């Protein structure tokens, strides 16, 4: 595993941590570490994934001197294709993915967050797609995923201005799911992610598939796969055990193993 990206296991939860102080800047080592960690998660899926960072900030963005200086159009296009593939893998993981932003979260880190199912933020978090400072547009999927959550006009506002936006504003825009107090953020984010990871993993995967189909083709496209993906849940041990628990002990007492 990379020295700047850690992947740990916490019960049912895999925890991916960016750890390249002081700013967790994205350079070749950070991108390689991200790819390696996500490939490892995809090869042996846990029941949930939490992405977080050490230090005062989530990330100050991309290390411009190391990544962009002298970049050719051909290499730039290839780089974005490679990084978008990582975002696609995150989105297609058959498990819940949660991003925890405790502080400043810029460019690549914010785009990774937008590729996750759930975005949690501290009241102190600030977010920005600030690529205009180097004459670039965000190219790891940020514009289109921000538009999905907040609408096209809000996405363009955030990117055109290059301004920083607080967690409360982005919660109103439906970009951030939940905002927590700074002193309780780490514990709250991990508890939230763990609770979801302890749920019916196969059912969560079915939810992701149905929502993805709706995003790509509308409600009828999602309807078309429900029979297959939701019907298959009746063969899972989690559903059988939960039904038995419901009948014998009442609702809300079932535990799940992800099978």
pLDDT tens figures, 8-48: 999 999 999 999 999 999 999 999 999 999 999 999 999 99
Cα 206 versus chain centre, distance: 17
- CB-based contacts of 93, cutoff 8 Å, min separation 6: 41, 42, 45, 49
* Of 188, 198, 173, 204, the residue nearest 255 (C-alpha): 198
Distance CA 178, CA 125 (A): 12
pTM, whole model, 2 decimals? 0.95
Number of Cβ within 10 Å of residue 172's Cβ equals: 11
The CA-CA-CA angle for residues 100, 106, 108, to 5°, reads 85
CA atoms within 13 A on the CB side of 23: 11
Superfamily of domain covering 5-197? 2-enoyl-CoA Hydratase; Chain A, domain 1 (3.90.226.10)
Domain coordinates of the chain in residue numbers? Answer: 5-197, 201-249
Quick: pLDDT tens for 185-232.
999 999 999 999 999 999 999 999 999 999 999 999 999 999 999 999
């Amino acid at each position: 595993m990379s020295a700047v990206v850690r992947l740990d296991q916490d019960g049912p939860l895999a925890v991916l941590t960016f750890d390249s102080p002081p700013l967790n800047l994205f350079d070749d080592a950070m991108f390689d570490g991200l790819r390696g960690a996500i490939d490892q998660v995809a090869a042996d899926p846990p029941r949930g994934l939490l992405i977080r960072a050490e230090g005062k900030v989530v990330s100050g963005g991309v290390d411009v001197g190391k990544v962009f200086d002298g970049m050719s159009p051909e290499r730039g296009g290839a780089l974005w294709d490679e990084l978008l593939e990582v975002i696609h893998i995150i989105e297609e993981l058959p498990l819940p993915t949660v991003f925890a932003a405790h502080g400043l979260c810029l460019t690549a880190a914010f785009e990774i967050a937008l590729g996750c199912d759930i975005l949690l933020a501290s009241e102190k978090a600030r977010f920005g797609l600030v690529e205009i400072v180097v004459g670039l547009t965000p190219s790891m999927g940020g514009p289109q995923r921000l538009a999905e959550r907040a609408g096209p006009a809000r996405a363009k506002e955030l990117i055109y201005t290059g301004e920083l936006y607080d967690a409360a504003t982005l919660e109103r825009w439906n970009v951030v799911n939940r905002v927590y107090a700074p002193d309780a953020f780490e514990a709250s984010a991990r508890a939230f992610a763990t609770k979801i990871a302890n749920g019916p993993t196969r059912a969560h995967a079915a939810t992701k598939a149905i929502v993805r189909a709706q995003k790509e083709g509308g409600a009828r496209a999602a309807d078309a796969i429900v029979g297959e993906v939701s019907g298959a849940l009746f063969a899972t041990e989690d559903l059988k055990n939960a039904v038995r628990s419901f009948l014998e002990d009442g609702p809300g007492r079932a535990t799940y193993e992800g099978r």
